[in-house]
Structure 1
């Protein structure tokens, strides 16, 4: 079935099930239709869905994933190769990569979630939580909702949960809630951010099939954690964990989206000894 035909069927279903958002005219342009589908997925509460529609939804998102330039983590240069002349053995497991985390075929990617753990409900929001849920599909929110209903309370800062990745090229998603910075940065904020990285590594370690992990820049976006301090905590925490567990992972990737973030990590790796 052609992608636009799939898109039209999905739009018809999601528009019909939404009682609050009244859409008078269906967009004729494909890009606008696709934006509308993402909006409807973003605002959709976790509720049952017709199995036939779910299959169409998965077919559509998987086709989009195939069209992306999927990144093989083993083909990326390591930090030791690119930044560190001493070729410290530990750094042969680390990668600094700038790109879209929804295109990398690692075993697990890390999502910077909020305490509700259901993904971002703001239509077309530019946060990584929205991007990951939009590419993975509505099943990700459904699984997160099931986990949180069983838990019965909001996810504490610094902890981590794991789910399937559904229509992403990765196999799993590690969800962690970073600290939100309202005023001055505190020692507790730094401790909690370090806990995010440790919790993700510990949770991933429970799954033998997870050999590669990609971290996003936790808390540095909407949560306003200073980027220079966050990158230092990320590198130190992951490196200290690897020193204790040297054989656990093949690759740990620090995924950054901006050149500013890339430069912060690159500086740290050049100075690492």
Structure 2
């Protein structure tokens, strides 16, 4: 397939009047921006087919990482630094917001934006269906599951972490713990064997990185005492890798 021409086709379907850049990087950013701001709504089959082909090709080109190739840090727990949208695993966990429709800010650097971008518009439509049936905003600490669409992960588990405006309160600790518990319970409900967590709430929601990692590791270790779910802590920043390496070197 020709990525340049496919991007041109998709951009024209999203906005027939917009001027299309000749530079491939700028063309991709324009397509991504249009997808990011697109409200939920079904697209014609020809668009969906072309988008699916494009996103699956991009995933292959950036190099997929198979969960089974990761090295276990301790029983049932793995640490991996990299792009979560390139991880081939049963499920990845998305740090969603309470609207649970993905990030609408064009090309924003949050994980919610990346997951929705590389999954394709089908993911936002699926989330919109869940929210329409639910009839209210997603509660902090709860979790929902969708297909992974064009991601290498089979499923995406969406959870809403606590937002920290000042000092972390006990209710915030409980809410973050609930994010991990809800997500793992949902994964086991769907009989999944593996799940990858991002660093929930530590980005735009401002939960302190080290404390968030402590809660994550403690919660997963406790949960695994009565389950067989394999958990990957996915980090992107060197800081978070160093924090988790330190915590996973400790034994309770």
TM-score over 0.5 for the pair:
yes
Alignment of 1:114-193 (within 5 A): 114-193=97-176
Q: Return the offset for 1:255.
A: 0.2
Structure 1 unaligned segments of length 5 or more: list them: 17-21, 80-90
Q: Distance in 2 between matches of 1:212 and 1:244?
A: 15
- The structure that has the greater radius of gyration is 1
User: Aligned partners of 1:64 and 1:271: how far apart in 2?
Assistant: 38
Q: Superposed, which structure 2 residues align to 1:15-30 within 5 Å?
A: 15-16=15-16, 23=18, 25-30=19-24
Distance 1:225 1:134 in 2: 24
Distance of 1:198 and 1:207 partners within structure 2: 14
1:105 pairs, out of 44, 63, 88, with: 88
SS in 1 for 2:27: helix
Q: Contact between 2:198 and 2:235, CA under 8 Å: does it hold in 1?
A: yes
- Quick one: distance in 1 between partners of 2:115 and 2:42? 20
1:261 maps to: 240
TM-score, normalised relative to structure 1: 0.90
1:9 aligns with 2:9: yes
Residue 95, structure 1, aligned to residue 74, structure 2:
no
Per-residue CA deviation, residues 184-205 of structure 1 (Å, 9 max, x unaligned), is 1100000000000000000111
What's the offset of the Cα at 1:214?
Answer: 0.3
The Cα of 1:92 is off from its aligned counterpart by 2.3
Ranges of 4+ aligned residues in structure 1 off by more than 3 Å: none
2:49 maps to 1:70: no
Q: Does 1:50 align with 2:50?
A: no
In structure 2, the partner of 1:85 is none
Give the deviation of 1:158 after TM superposition. Answer: 0.1
Gaps of 5+ in 2: none
Distance in 1, Cα, partners of 2:172 & 2:139: 13
- TM-score (normalizing by structure 2): 0.98
